[in-house]
Amino acid sequence: MRRFSTMTFLLGAVLAAQAASADSVKPRTIDMAQNTATEALPGRDILVAGQDAIADGKSPAVIAIDTGDKAITARTKLELSLAPQAVPPGQPYLVVVSLRPADGPSRRIGTVSFFPRRAGVAQIFYFGAAPIAAEIKARGRSRIDLSITLVPVERTQTLTASVRVISARLVEG
């Protein structure tokens, strides 16, 4: 009986300490797999063309970004805000974000998906900015194009889904 009381007391003390520390500390985290951030990261808008562009199962959305003359560090991330527009049931898809170089094939920056998919509800996605920095260096200018393409999970399926581009920023994270 005494052992049970001691264990109950210790467990209660640990829970009380966790609750007290949770109220006093607001963590700053980025969970790229979950596509969430607990607070806005400092950054700068870089979208210069293509806001409200729509990607669907037939054609990609093409946007232009301009990173300006500020350096892109190893910690810099591309923050892309996208919102599903048409959300037909039973049509799972991936969103592929790629660089569109002046010459040669496009190069994939990353692939994401919406969860849950809700029409008109924007979600923020983060990508490493190293490929963007390399393309800027290769071209010698800070304005480049990105492609946002929808790809069905089942290759034989025709997509009627669509996604709208909301914003693009560079953030330090």
Fold of 30-172: Jelly Rolls (2.60.120)
Per-residue pLDDT, 42:
85
Question: Which pTM was predicted?
Answer: 0.75
Residue 41: band (very low, low, confident or very high) from pLDDT cuts 50, 70, 90: confident
pLDDT score recorded for residue 134: 92
**Residue among 173, 172, 165 at smallest CA distance from 80:** 165
For the chain, which residues make up each domain, given as ranges?
A: 30-172
Q: What is the pLDDT of residues 51-105, one digit of tens each?
A: 999 999 999 999 999 999 888 999 999 999 999 999 999 899 999 999 998 778 8
pLDDT tens digits, one per residue of 125-173: 999 999 999 999 988 999 999 999 999 999 899 999 999 999 999 999 7
pLDDT at site 101? 83
